[in-house]
Amino acid sequence: MANSKKTTNDKIERLKNSGTLNAHPEKIIDSLFLDGSLEFFDPNDLVQVKYEMLRSVEKEGDSISDAAKRYGFSRPCFYQAQSGFKKHGIAGLIRGRPGPKSAHKLKDEIMQFIDKSIKQGGPLRSRTLAPKIKEQFGIEIHPRSIERAMVRKKKELTKKRGK
């Protein structure tokens, strides 16, 4: 059954910008999302799709496997959505930023080492610092991570001076 629903480009753009655009709306085989007369159900809206998947298990008594398949997800994705919803409500269905949330490898001692190296040698050379950090601390850090950390530090110093 082909999806005859029309989602405006504006809505698609807003969903994309908010991180809630369903990357695979074509995987949804649930009748609510396929019925062209039901404008409310938008297969492009990831939060709505996840919510309906959870609701179908909780309220309709569907099996987790069947619900996950009908809404285009795997069972592990179902459990992640369920956990997020239980902890944070509807906001828990929105994907968080993947990966580490901070420069978790750049501990104080490594930042001090970087500062010391920069003071001794002038401008930041992250490509030469990265191997030295690995040699000194046994931690592999991408040169771009070093550059971002130094930019953050510079911004912090600028803010402190401005106060």
Rounded Cα–Cα distance for residues 96 and 99 (Å): 9
Provide Rg for the chain, Cα atoms: 24
Domain identity same for 139 and 63: no
Domain identity same for 18 and 84: yes
Query: Given 68, 93, 118, which residue is the final one in a domain?
Result: 93
Domain count, the chain: 2
Rounded Cα–Cα distance for residues 112 and 128 (Å): 16
Domain identity same for 88 and 147: no
pTM attached to this predicted model: 0.58
Domain identity same for 15 and 75: yes
Question: 28-64, pLDDT tens digit by residue?
Answer: 999 999 998 888 999 999 999 999 999 999 999 999 9
Domain containing 147 equals 108-162
Question: Residue 125 has what pLDDT?
Answer: 81
Domain identity same for 60 and 118: no
Domain identity same for 86 and 36: yes
Question: Residue 1 has what pLDDT?
Answer: 42
Instruction: Name the E strands within the chain.
Output: none
Domain identity same for 71 and 117: no
Query: Whose CA is closest to 92, among 102, 80, 78, 100?
Result: 80
